[in-house]
Structures are given as structure tokens and as C-alpha cells.
Structure 1
Amino acid sequence: MLPPLKALPVFESVARLNSFSRAAAELNVSQSAVSHQIRALEDYLGESLFQRQGRYLTLTQEGKNYLDAISSSLSHIARASNQIRGEEDTKIRIAVYSSFAVCWLMPRLSDLQHKHPNLDITITMTHGAPELSDKTADCFITTDQEKRGFESTLLYQETLFPVCSHAFYQEIKNTLNLTSEELKEQLKSKPELLEGFPLITSFGIYNEYTEDWRSWFLERNSAIPSNVKFHKFSHLLLAYEAAKHSLGIALVNDYMFNEKDTNSPLVRIPTHHIHTNDHFFFSYKTSRRNETAIKEIKQWILNEASSLKAHT
């Protein structure tokens, strides 16, 4: 037997907005009508879906489980109904890592909006891998492609290379008494020249400080010298900012640096790079692969990612 169907979108709205009054405003009904529908649903299920603590409203564990179970179905019903009515949904939510959003996606958003002005885009930043779920977003840029019911298209494998500010690069040349060409030639055979300068390490990629530089030195069969001075930062974005402000040399990834950008605050140091174990994917629900908005976003991101691969 089906639950009171009118109550389901009301429940979803209250759970999403965390408020009876805001849900009432969104649904254009009275707050008492919202309360009545939630009460009817709770009576039918025999469980409390919300916990009220003064002015605060939270989902109970049963409420969370029920929301997870029905939200995808409600979205499917809404999209199918809109398609039948000839109304294409142009709203799309993209969940991406914070550094990817700030350094790669944000500078390109104007191009995306120019090419697809019909799209109403919401960007959600995540520190770790975003949860692949309709309640999180409609599509994802993630390193996690192992999720049943989702399609994932490879964008690229992550690459790390050393960068520093223009002023710090000049300091390197002055300290070593080399011209730009001489430094470039020497670094081909002696990348260890960099060990005499402060190095910036971040925790985020390898979940351990200095592991990024250990991998970089290991690429040339050498260990990190014991006398190296490190500046430690929890996130790659902070390491990027530290390099920009001349604290030292940082290892950043390919999507954070565009060699064609003449206004870049950083210089890529002419020496070797390393690959991390992370592969980035564009992911979305298989059942939604034919939606116009997702197809447009996917094609645009794949085109942009192909130019990224060409420069690494």
C-alpha cells in the first residue's frame, strides 16, 4: 500500500530546507497544511521523521533513511513529467573538489555560460570525495568512479610539478648565480638543486606531510635531504597561496596552473613532474544520461579536459 502521496514532496521540501515555514513558502501553502501532511505521513509510517529541539528541526535516523530512499524517485517523477509537458529542466548542480572549483572551474565558468546560456548552474565545493547521490548534486567531478548506477568518464590522471612566485624564481637564479637558460639546463640533470630552498608541502593529496616531495625526489631515485626546510599546509589551495606569496617552492597539480596564462602569479620550474594515483572522472546517474543539461555539461568539460591533457 502506498503512503499518502501528497505528503512526499512536502516531506522532501521540509527535509531539504530544514524548516516548516520555508517549506510552506516554497510550496505556496500554509504552515499548518505542511504540518498536517507531515503528521499524516508519520502516522502512516509509524515513525517520527523529524526531531524538534526548540527552534531547531533535524531529521531523525528514520527520516534520513526515508529521505535517501524516496528523493531519487521524486526527482525521476518530476523530470519525467516535465519532459512529457515539453519542459526541459535547465537547473543543474555540480559537486567538485574545492581546489578544482576555485582554480579550474571558476575561471572557465564565463565560457560555459556563454556557450550554454540556458543552463542554471549551482556549484557545490567538497573537501573530500563528494557523495554520489541525487541529494548531493546532479553530476560530479570526482576520483571515485566505483558506484553502482553511475556512469564515469575519465578526464585525466593528476600530475604534480614544482612552482614558485616570479620573485622567488628570481631569488633562485640569483642564489645559484645562473641565467634562466642555465637554470633550465642544470635542472634537467640536477633537480636536487631545489633542495637548498624552502619547500612547501600539503597534507591533502597523500594524507601525509612531505609525502608529495618524497615522491618527487624518489622519481629521480633520491631521498629528501635531512636539512630541507618545509612549510606545511593542510590543503593544496593553501600551498598554492603560500607559493604565490614567496614562501618557497610548492608542488601543485595540473588543473591549478595554466602555462598559457601570462598573468599567472606562479612560474613552473623547468624540471620533472610526477603522477599521483588519482584519476579524475565526470560522473552522473546512468538513468539521467540522456538529459540535455547533463549532456551539455559533460561535453563542455570533456573538451576543456582534453586541452588540459595537452599541456601536461
Structure 2
Amino acid sequence: MARQIPPLSAVRVFEAAARHLNFTRAAEELAMTQAAVSYQIRMIEDRLGASLFVRSGRRVSLSPAGQRLAPQISAAFDLLDEAFAKVRESESGVLTISAAPGIAASWLGPRLARFQMKKPDIAIRLLATGDLADFSHDGVDVAIRIGRGEWPGLRAVEMFPADYTPMCSPAYVERMGPFDDPARLLDVLRLNSDDVWWRAWFTQLGVPIPDDLTQKSLHVDSQVIEGMAAIAGEGVAMLTPRFWPYELETGRLVQLFPHIGAGSSFWLVCPEHRYGSAKVKAFREWLLSEVAAS
């Protein structure tokens, strides 16, 4: 007996529209026009004899029928994604990791050779980027993110706190110091002074924040470059101590104050349906052992 379901292409459009509650965003995700999205939705509604969305101006919400259908359709696509992922996994021993340049270069990258030695059958592809991974389109298996572990549809495992504190070179201290009060940092060149970590650190220590906080600043695009600029004596950088142990131990960087700010963490994340993948499981277990040892 033939399956009594609408065309899969139309069902895929409904799933995207229900997830975004926005036809324009669904169209962008699927590389379609908004008119094409509306047409596919109407096709399903005509076959069901029921409206799936309630339209109010530019806003849409799920109708009672849409609310019943959406979670089941989403779960069905998750099963399809998992099935195809398992086939791809059996054909490919490549694990693709997405991580911000700071943790990729300063913490994860130097350790990956140990994982390769432990699991020589799994090749690693590391994408160092500040952009959030799109697991549906980027071919990424796992990612490392900063936050509180709350990303819908993703399984998150906490690694360690995303802590931060001001650092600079000894030469910069000699030239611009002494730094005996946190407020003194308002008077010197701060690297990426518009970073939320600067504002949070000053607030935690009760330092009044001026309106021109971002005036004395050198802007760079990653913590790696911030750290190198600080070592070169270009200013004070807000850095994660865990990423700069060698520089702190050898005196190339100086931690200016004992206070270390925190509030979020680094997390290993992946889609729910990939959590049990053999290569993801192997990497997760290895990564957590590295975290425990560091």
C-alpha cells in the first residue's frame, strides 16, 4: 500500500517553517522564495483539510493541527538525519570540530596529537572560527561554545569555566604602571575594550564604568591575537589564564590582579542524534580526560 503522506519536499518546508515560525527564515534556510514556502504549506493544508499556521500580519504561529504535527515531523527528520549520519560515519573516519580561535589555538590544538595517537583511525578536521556552527549545513560533528549550556536541539557537556583576567607584558607594567588599583586600567590601552568581559570584570570589582569605555582600545579578532599583542607590549588584554600557562610561568605575561571573572563556561556540544556516534563518543571521553588533567 502506498504511503498516504504529502511530498517529502513539502513536509521539509513545513518542518523548517514550524521551527522558525517565520516563512522568510524558512525560505532562507531552504534556498527558496517565500512564495514557494507558502505554496508548499498550502499544498499540505489542502491535503489535510486543516490549517497548519495562524497568520496575523507578518507573524505566524502554529494552529492546533500544526502544534500536533510539528514535533512528530521534527522527530521524523531527526531519525532520517541520524540514519544518514550513521551511513556517512561508516564511510568516513573524519571528525570535524568547530571552535573559537582562542581555545582552538591555545588549548585544543596543542593536545590533538594525543587524540590522534590514541585513535589513529579517526582523522581530525579543526575549524577555528568565531561563527556558531550550523550542524545542518557545515558538516560539523562537534563544537566548543561559550555559554550556559542551553542550546535547543543540542546536547552540551561542560568542560571548564570561561574565566578571564587582565594581563600584559612585564615591559608594559614597567612603562605604564604601577597597577595598584583596577581603576587604573581605565587610563591605559586595553585590547578589545568593547568585549563584554571588560565590562563584567570592572563591574565585579565595583569600578564605575565610564561612557567612553571603548575609547582607549586596540581591536583584534581573537584571543590569540590579543595575547600576542599583550606579549609584544601593545596594551592590556582580558585573557583566559588556562590558555596562557606557559606565558604566565615564564613571565612573558603578567596577571595584574588576583580577581578572575567568570559566569559562563566552555561546552562541548553536538546534535542530540549524534551524541552516541562512535567517533563523537571517543572524542568526548578523551576531551573530558584532558580537561580533568589540565
TM-score tier after normalising by the smaller chain length: 0.5 to 0.7
Matched residues in 1 for 2:262 and 2:208: separation? 17
- Contact 1:214 / 1:223 at 8 angstroms: preserved in 2? no
The secondary structure found in structure 2 opposite 1:155 is strand
TM-superposed deviation, 1:216: 2.2
TM-score w.r.t. structure 2 length? 0.62
Q: What does the per-residue CA deviation read over 1:37-90, in whole Å, with 9 as the maximum and x for residues that have no partner?
A: xxxx9xxxxxxxxxxxxxxxxx98249x9xxx989847724625976xxx8x53
The structure 2 residue matched to 1:217, chosen from 190, 193, 202, is: 202
Name the CA shift for 1:242/1:157 in 2 (closer, same or farther; >3 Å): same
Match of 1:61 in 2: 31
Match of 1:200 in 2: 191
Name the CA shift for 1:78/1:282 in 2 (closer, same or farther; >3 Å): closer
Q: Please give the root-mean-square deviation of Cα atoms over the aligned residues, in Å.
A: 4.2
Match of 1:292 in 2: 278
Aligned counterparts, 1:155-166, within 5 A: 155-166=159-170
Match of 1:168 in 2: 172
Name the CA shift for 1:264/1:305 in 2 (closer, same or farther; >3 Å): farther
Matched residues in 1 for 2:102 and 2:277: separation? 27
TM-superposed deviation, 1:149: 4.0
- Contact 1:95 / 1:136 at 8 angstroms: preserved in 2? no
Aligned counterparts, 1:1-312, within 5 A: 61-62=31-32, 73=80, 76-77=83-84, 79-80=86-87, 89-133=92-136, 135-143=138-146, 145-171=149-175, 175-176=177-178, 187=180, 190-203=181-194, 205-206=195-196, 212-224=197-209, 230-237=216-223, 238-258=225-245, 262=249, 265-276=252-263, 278-308=264-294
Matched residues in 2 for 1:99 and 1:82: separation? 28
Matched residues in 1 for 2:30 and 2:162: separation? 40
Name the CA shift for 1:202/1:120 in 2 (closer, same or farther; >3 Å): farther
Q: Which segments of 5 or more consecutive residues in structure 2 lack a partner in the other structure?
A: 4-8, 10-28, 38-75
Q: Which segments of 5 or more consecutive residues in structure 1 lack a partner in the other structure?
A: 3-40, 42-58, 177-182, 207-211
Matched residues in 1 for 2:139 and 2:123: separation? 16
Name the CA shift for 1:82/1:292 in 2 (closer, same or farther; >3 Å): closer
Match of 1:12 in 2: none
The secondary structure found in structure 2 opposite 1:124 is strand
Matched residues in 1 for 2:212 and 2:84: separation? 62
TM-score w.r.t. structure 1 length? 0.59
Structure 1, 91-100 or 298-307: larger mean CA deviation = 298-307
Structure 2 counterpart of 1:61, which letter?
A: A
TM-superposed deviation, 1:265: 3.8
